[in-house]
Chains A and B, each alone.
Chain A
Amino acid sequence: MLLAVFLLVSIFFLAACTGKGDKAEEGTKTEEKTTTKTEPKVEEKVEVKDPVELVMYSWRPEDREAYEKFIKVFEDQNPGITVTFKPYKSTEYGTILTNALTAGQGPDIIQLRPYEGALSIIDAEFIVPLDDIQGINEISDEYLTAARGTDGKVYGVPLSLNAGVIFYNKDVFDEHGFALPTTWDELLEVGEEMKAKGIVPIAQAGKAAYLLSLTHSVIGATAYDQAYIDDLLSGKADLADDRFIESVKRMEQLEGLFPKDFIALDDKDTQAMFYTGQAAMYINGSYRLETFENTAPDLNIGILPSFAKEKGGETPLVTWVDGSYAVVKASKHQEEAKKFMEFMASKEFGQMFSDELSRISAIPGVEPKHELVKEMTALGEQNPIPYLMLVYLGGGSPTTKTTFENALQGMYIKELTVDGVIDESQKSMDKWFEPVK
């Protein structure tokens, strides 16, 4: 009896394996074509190449519709290759990707976090270098840094540039006659006027700590400058430098301009404050432009890059590469995946990307249709400054960026002082950071 059951199970198992094997066979296969009944039976053997399906992971479920359009264009140009866009929630993406890559199964193309976020995947040799693909050399070297390995090779095609900006509600400013602040002092002044009229000056959420470091990058961009960043990178300065301390002090001062209990608010809560005119300004990445257009298309908004130190001073725009796309080493379709990468590095894709998603493309020569995107692109070309914490201080475990933004939370709940924030962040940085020689 036992033997009979075992044999039965074995037969089913073998049958299943055989079926699987047949399906799994890829590449060319012979297909039998039979003519209609009226004609004499002629069996001809035609060589048919199986279509290749590329699976692409992303952390942008909200971009699905746009990606499906881009993919359609690629598929029309490349018959025989289909691309399946599989987006996951941003907060779960890292875990899903880690599991898929470790298991050696899953995607052919992946969206890669920028800078330090890409390094662990590159160093673990899960993705292949893309230095040889067409169009990659046209992209600015500064942007390619976001997906460069420690070996100097480029492992990803940078997709878009993000800019940290101050969005302002033009209608709120016009209605109440507020002057548009261009300097730090003007911001504090107009902020008080707004509070007096019951308007929240800046809709800032603090529940997700990363929003605080993003705001710091925009607010602090004129407290420190590119010269300070260069000094920091070369080891001539550290975080206890007056210029950086000033930037954290500005964050402390801003508390009065944020909504009540902002540390318990989500980004969605503060977005709603901004849409509904309860708040005059909102600081976030340029990617929020698309969110605004979908949620509140009639919202009359403008952007400010940063607040100058003094009247007529420089207002740099904080920029960083949002993410890149890379080809997984374990993919069986390297050639086809690289073809898709070449498509993503093309001006055609960059233009579509910018037009559909109102984002700043990393591909040179793209002319944005959207007025605000055009404005941001121009500002970024004139006077850019990197997002210090993300671009240069994303190393360590936990990262210095994470330590810094959590410490900012600590400052707002009165657990830490400005010096405490600097001290925690510097200690984190000391553990891994090596000055560029």
Chain B
Amino acid sequence: MSGDEVLAALICMAGGFTGGIVGVGGGVLFVPALTIFIGLTQVEGESTSLLMIVIVALIGAIRQNSYGNVNVRNAIIIGVLSPLGVLIGVAIANHVSERALQLSFAALALFIAYRLIRRAMAAPA
């Protein structure tokens, strides 16, 4: 194993850990690990990351289910209907500047972060 491969493995472990803690797939770390340290192109990295996300989310969901933290029915409804949204999203993305999209999502992410922190501070410990 080369140094780059060890780094990629460590970043992917951090991605899985992040996914387990906050309920995301981990792609936010898998993609840079695959493109920067393994040398895949952006498209290959994102596609390969998807397969990793499926495996990681499956094991994570099984663990969370054993802790009593999964509503399986609702998860299936959300998952099955998401491809419709992907089509809508891709269609919009083709008509709006990428920079505008990036900045608007950044603004939205900051707003949600603010709401979550405000809610967490207001809640009893």
Partners in one complex: no
Q: What is B's interface to A at a CB cutoff of 8 Å?
A: none
